[in-house]
Every structure is written in C-alpha cells, then in structure tokens.
Amino acid sequence: MTELGHVVLYVRDMQRSIDFYSNVVGLSVRGRIFGARAAMLSGGRTHHELLLIEMGEAPGPLQGRRLGLYHIGWKIGDSLEALRRKRDELEKLGWAIDGMSDHTVSQSLYLRDPDGNEIELYVDDPNVDWRSDDEWMREPVKPLTL
C-alpha cells in the first residue's frame, strides 16, 4: 500500500495561505506547531494533508530556502516493521536516506528523488488517536531509531 499522505509548502504569509486553503480548497486547521510558524490542515482523512511553514519576508533561520514545495509525504504502511522493510530495501538499492524522524503520529524516512526533491516515506502509528488527542503537536519531531 502506498498513498499520497501530505504535501509541505513554504509560504510567505501564513494567514493568507490558511484563508486560501480553508475557504477555497475546503481544508480545516488541525493545529499549529513550531511556535505557530507552521499550520497543519486536513480534509479529515488524516492528521494533515497539508503542512504550511511560514517563511515571512525577513531573513532568519529558514533563510536560503525557497517558497513553494518543501517535501511530499507518501504513506507506505501502518507499522514500524513496514518502515524497516523499506529502509532495508533502500539500502539494498544503494539509495541514500537523508534522515529519520519520529513524529509520534507517524514515523518517517527522508530521501531525495533523482531531481533532488525531498520525499518522506512514512507509516502511521495506529496507537495514536490524532482525532481526539493533540498532545503530539507539542513535540512533533523527535529522532527515530529503527
């Protein structure tokens, strides 16, 4: 099973982007993370189908990153074992893994496609109820060891 899970975009003006994706596309804000510099939006299928990260106008910690696409997340299963199998498969193929993260609701591998676009391959944790518990948003990125 592989399905498109989410897209992450760098945006200039958070509220303008939230208004667009809420009013025009029909997504709802599920929560804010990274000191409210990022917003998770969903149509209800999953914890977020879209993550917006505000870049703003001024240089800062995100300086040098461009507006637009940050990465695309592909859901590849619902267990750490599925993620381990994918890691092993990537290693056999000789494909570099740039990083691994535990997002509490999901666990992820990060790599680049042949053109350098960042791709996230992830599994959801079926034991986390993201619909009724948003505690995971307090620390959405932790190191992952497989």
Q: What is the pLDDT of residues 34-85, one digit of tens each?
A: 888 999 999 998 889 999 999 876 555 555 567 888 899 999 988 999 999 9
Q: For residue 76, what are its two tokens?
A: 């590849």
At 92, the pLDDT band (50, 70, 90 cuts) reads: very high
Report the CATH number that the domain containing residue 58 is assigned in CATH: 3.10.180.10
Task: Quote the domain boundaries for residue 23.
Answer: 3-143
Domains in the chain: how many in total? 1
Whole-model pTM?
0.74
Pick from 97, 18, 10, 104: nearest CA to 61: 10
